[in-house]
Every structure is written in C-alpha cells, then in structure tokens.
C-alpha cells in the first residue's frame, strides 16, 4: 500500500518512482524463544510505508522449537527515518 502522504513512492522498492532508499522486513513471530515483536508492540512512524505482508512456510528450514509459518512485514522509507525506525524497533522487539 502506498502511503497517502507519499504518492511518489511506487508499489515496492524496485519501482522506478520510489524515492525511498531505506527498505527492510520484520519477522513477526509468536515463538517466545526467538526475537520477535512484543505482543503489545505499537510501531507508528509517519512516512514508513508497508509494501508487502507475506506468510511463508519455512518448515523445512527451522528447528522443532520454531513455528512452521512466519509472517514478514516488508517496508520502505526515506533515509532520514532510519534512526527513528531503529529506536522504535529496538523498543518493540522481545
């Protein structure tokens, strides 16, 4: 989804219209033994665009203690949001 305040962004980091140079993904897990977003996490960063939400079966590459299906949140933003995003993620991870 393209944020309303960023119509110049494309529908992903590979778009020729995208002016965002900060891209990444977050793995959202319910496994208490792995780093993941806390249950009470509330990440709000103006200008951060979610470009894709995907669920992937990773059962062939994880241990028995890890979930078989993972959710990934893919995002993009301009470089000036990097520090704010890093601080917000640090506060939101288990």
Q: What is the pTM of this model?
A: 0.60
pLDDT digit string, tens, across residues 23-78: 887 776 665 455 577 888 888 899 999 899 999 898 999 888 888 888 888 889 99
All residues at 6 or more sequence positions from 45 whose CB lies less than 8 Å from its CB, including other chains: 77, 81, 84, 85, 88
Phi and psi at 62, nearest 5°, equal -120, 165
Place of tokens 């990773």: 58
């Amino acid at each position: 989804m393209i944020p309303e305040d960023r119509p110049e962004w494309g529908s992903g980091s590979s778009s020729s219209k995208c002016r965002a140079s900060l891209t990444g993904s977050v793995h959202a897990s319910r496994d208490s033994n792995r780093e993941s977003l806390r249950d009470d996490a509330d990440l709000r960063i103006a200008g951060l665009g979610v470009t894709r939400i995907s669920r992937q079966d990773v059962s062939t590459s994880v241990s028995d203690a890890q979930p078989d299906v993972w959710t990934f949140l893919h995002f993009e933003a301009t470089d000036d949001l990097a520090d704010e995003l890093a601080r917000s993620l640090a506060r939101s991870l288990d």
